[in-house]
Chains A and B, each alone.
Chain A
Amino acid sequence: MKFFKTKLAVALLAAGLSFNAAAADITVAYDADPVSLDPHEQLSGGTMQMSHMLFDPLVRFTKEFDFEARLAEKWQRVDDTTFRFNLRKGVKFHSGNTMTADDVVWTFNRLKVSGDFKGVFAPYEKMIKVDDYTVEIKSTKPYPLVLQTATYIFPMDSKFYSGEIDGKDKAAIVKHGGSFASTNVSGTGPFIVTSREQGVKVVFERFDDYWDTTSPGNVDKLTLVPIKENATRVAALLSGDIDLIHPVAPNDQKRVKQTKNIELTTVAGTRIITLQMNQNSNPALKDVRVRQAIVHAINNKGIVKKIMKGFATAAGQQGPKGYAGYDETLVPRYDLKKAKQLMKEAGYEKGFKLSMMTPNNRYVNDAQIAQAVSSMLSKIGIKVDLKTLPKAQYWPEFDLCAADMMMIGWHSDTEDSANFSEFLTMTRNEETGKGAYNCGHYSNSVVDNLVNSANAETDPAKRAAMLQQVEQTLYKDAAFVPLHWQNLAWGAKSNLDVAPIVNALNQPYFGDLVVK
């Protein structure tokens, strides 16, 4: 009898392996868990990652920043201000309702009132239903980034979220305190939530009626646990308690790589880390030669190699490769001799003092980078008074632009070059909200005009040329100090096929994950 059982087990195992579609049950550890089940409550990496599990967007980015049809099957530009999406038919929500144009329009309208998302949808006037499976999105002016913003439209089940519960609107977006949508969910995504204990774990199970039957994904149950400590997260992977972890700290990557049966997957990221040079608080920084000297004195390739352990790409501009404005001639400029020369020309041969502030728990190795930069600047006579702060205390200081040099990292919400300039390098303008994070107070009407025209140019080639000109101008003016783009890393057991589902956006498509 025992023999028979063993035989049976072997047979079943073999069958499972040969079909390669055995249902898998995996545990994933991130550094945080989603703050809410409401996809419109907070625009953050965590929310987007969750949205791709519980919902599906109209279109989504591929690894190469192309667009892949999801709930929209086809799309076309009708005229300069109108864009049409043909929706997929027969798509079921978790509640059993069928998705139609009404749900898409309803979701769009909810995005327009969400505090966090309305910025992304500001260029649009409205979305209209043409028929049950066709919608048109209308922008107030010609707008080139319709498909980029469509990656943010994850249709929600309008019937499920309509009505009242305990006298409150089910669709209400509530930042503080509970709401129906923050704890209940009905999307079209590959997974449903079967249990959730905030800060401890979320259990996702495969949605039986998922529309994408061609998806190779075979994960039936996925448990997401937040593990905050880098060392503990890696230990959990190495000890076999966890199947996949993210992020993997630079210091741990070698260890993960060398461990048998565990793979490290890395992707070049799109978040730029920069230092801004405040021209208002320190007159020396008004001089372009001084700014150039600073950029030339900072060996960002060395920082990437030594501090980031190769886990980043040294940058010479805002947007990474693959973005419209990327110009491959704009490379890092470390040159100490030239830096000293420039300081001399500017009349600061003896150097000067400046203050610097950076966070110490926001970006990877942020405080170490800041220390390295201050010692590099000391070589051209600039004495840096450095202060590093926890992020909670850093942001209020940043709002005040409280130091001569401040660190900021930026990820473009639209995966597009213009977004960097809109927030970081355009002239500060309270009314339009442009340059809201420009603590360098760099202001150049050429840049402002180019970005504004690029945002109204629907011809991709013309637009790219404008954005490249923006990058060139910023480079020439040394508007800011580009440091690097952080890489992304996942550590996983080798039976998980991680590479195909991860991307530079840090939004893994877990629905398509294959576990061998």
Chain B
Amino acid sequence: MFTFLIQRLFQALIVMFVISLVAFAIQDNLGDPLRELVGQSVSEVERQALRDELGLNDPYLTKYSRFISNAVQGDLGTSYFFKKPAAEVILNKLQATLELVFGATLIIIFVAIPLGVFSAIHPKSVRTKIIMALSSLGISVPVFLTAILLMYLFSIELNWLPSYGRGETVNLLGWETGFLTKSGLLHLILPCISLASIMLPLFIRLVRSEMLEALSSEYVKFAKAKGLAMNKIYYQHALKNTMLPVITVGGVQIGTMVAYTILTETVFQWPGTGFLFLEAINRVDTPLITTYVIFVGLIFVVTNTIVDLLYGFINPTVNITGKGA
């Protein structure tokens, strides 16, 4: 276990190093940050002076080594737009994104598992066919379209739900949450459904196929032959084994959902990290872009590690250290 963690940490460091190199290398191709910092009538001489002051004219290696030496001390640079450390800006916006992902996860859990199980138990039912058809549709409609359609229907036409932002939030031990106010909850509904819509079909299909596999296994047949109640077979024996791969895949997917909120957040003006990233690209806020890319890389590394660990706990036959069987 310990060796596994050490190994993983070492791998993570290499991955992060490569990511930082790439994130830094693309910087120069993103455009000129000066244009977003000064007015149109400012002369080229003035702009050059500011470029020098910001160190933008230094060669790549100088800039990169300066970046790395600051980064190891925890300083990833200062955002041009927010005028605050980039890491602080991202951590600040992360709360909104995590709430969005959490809300979407709840929807996925409470919708995908029952539907997946149902369609596995009744594979020939008409309802199953409808579920499958809808989920194919869901997977093929892009998220921004889902989001705009939802907004059009529920905000403009029906006027039931708010169209943008987070609404009122409450500060709970330093965490700004929208889960505790009515306005906050109402604001969460549409963005969460939009975000969930990309993952939902995938999960329904995953739960269904795993459940089908479990139902055709020897132990289920044996239980049936033994005369156990069908409900007990389905929900106690088969479902338990279905959940194993669901948790593994699900963990990674939900972790990475943090990095996939860009479209949903942009449409709903959700003040999270995805929206922040898109804005940073438009503004050529390079320190923020670099930090975000590194941060997302970190999320992938961490979620993968956690999932591997969990897998070991759930299924002890899996040997994560990779030594002997």
Contact = CB atoms under 8 A, between A and B. Distances in A.
A199 B276 contact: yes
Given A225-B165, A228-B266, A436-B43, A200 B271 contact: yes
Interface stretch (A6-14, A387-395, A439-447): A387-395
Given A227-B269, A361-B282, A413 B163 contact: no
Given A423-B41, A436-B44, A238 B156 contact: yes
Contacts of B43: 119, 433, 436
B80 interface: yes
Given A115-B46, A176-B80, A436-B44, A229 B266 contact: yes
B32 interface: yes
Nearest to A44: B39
B83 A182 contact: yes
A236 B187 CA distance: 12
Contact of A392 (B31, B82, B83, B271): B31
Nearest to B31: A392
Contacts of B39: 42-44, 116
B258 to A, nearest CB: 19
A436 B283 CA distance: 23
Given A116-B38, A436-B43, A392 B163 contact: no
B176 to A, nearest CB: 10
A392 B284 contact: yes
B37 A176 contact: yes
B148 interface: yes
A90 interface: no
B94 to A, nearest CB: 14
Contacts of B84: 178
B148 A42 contact: no
A241 interface: yes
Contact of A391 (B29, B35, B83): B35
A179 B36 CA distance: 18
B50 A175 contact: yes
A177 interface: yes
A178 B276 contact: no
B268 interface: yes
Interface string A394-423: 111001000000000011010000000001
A197 B84 CA distance: 12
A35 interface: yes
A198 B82 contact: yes
B260 interface: no
Interface residues of B, number: 47
Contact of A241 (B82, B152, B163): B163
B42 A115 contact: yes
A422 to B, nearest CB: 9
Interface string A149-181: 000000000000000000000000011111100
B72 interface: no
Contacts of B42: 43, 115-116, 119
A214 interface: no
A283 to B, nearest CB: 26
B269 A42 contact: no
A231 interface: yes
B75 interface: no
Point out which of B29, B36, B39, B45 has the most chain A C-beta atoms below 10 A from its C-beta: B39
Contacts of B271: 197, 199-200
B163 A232 contact: yes
Contacts of B41: 43, 116, 119-120, 413, 423
Interface of A is mostly: loop
A96 interface: no
B279 interface: yes
A322 interface: no
Nearest to A414: B41
Contacts of A174: 83
A499 interface: no
B83 A176 contact: yes
A436 B44 CA distance: 8
B191 to A, nearest CB: 11
Contacts of B35: 391-392, 395
A241 B162 contact: yes
B267 A232 contact: yes
A226 B278 CA distance: 14
Contact of A232 (B38, B40, B151): B151
B213 to A, nearest CB: 43
A235 B32 contact: no
A239 B32 contact: no
Interface string A93-136: 00000000000000000000001100110000000000000000
Contacts of A436: 43-44
Interface string B152-188: 1001100100111100000000000000000000000
B281 interface: yes
A154 to B, nearest CB: 15
B133 interface: no
A493 B168 CA distance: 23
Contacts of B83: 36, 174, 176-179, 182
Contacts of A233: 164
Interface in B78-98: 78, 80-84
B82 A199 contact: yes
A460 interface: no
A232 B279 contact: no
Interface in B249-307: 266-269, 271, 275-276, 279, 281-284
Given A116-B38, A229-B267, A235 B152 contact: yes
A232 B162 CA distance: 11
A43 B152 CA distance: 37
B83 to A, nearest CB: 5
B31 A239 contact: no
Given A227-B269, A396-B32, A399-B44, A176 B164 contact: no
A70 B165 CA distance: 37
9 contacts: A42-B37, A115-B46, A182-B83, A199-B279, A229-B266, A231-B151, A232-B269, A240-B159, A390-B31
Rank and list the top 10 A-B pairs by shortest CB-CB distance, nearest first.
A392-B31, A43-B39, A239-B155, A116-B39, A235-B163, A395-B35, A392-B284, A178-B83, A393-B31, A200-B271
Interface of A: 29, 35-36, 42-44, 115-116, 119-120, 174-179, 182, 197-200, 225-229, 231-233, 235-236, 238-241, 361, 390-396, 399, 410-411, 413, 423, 430, 433, 436-437
Given A29-B164, A227-B164, 10 more contacts: A43-B39, A115-B42, A175-B37, A176-B37, A177-B78, A199-B271, A199-B276, A231-B151, A392-B282, A395-B32
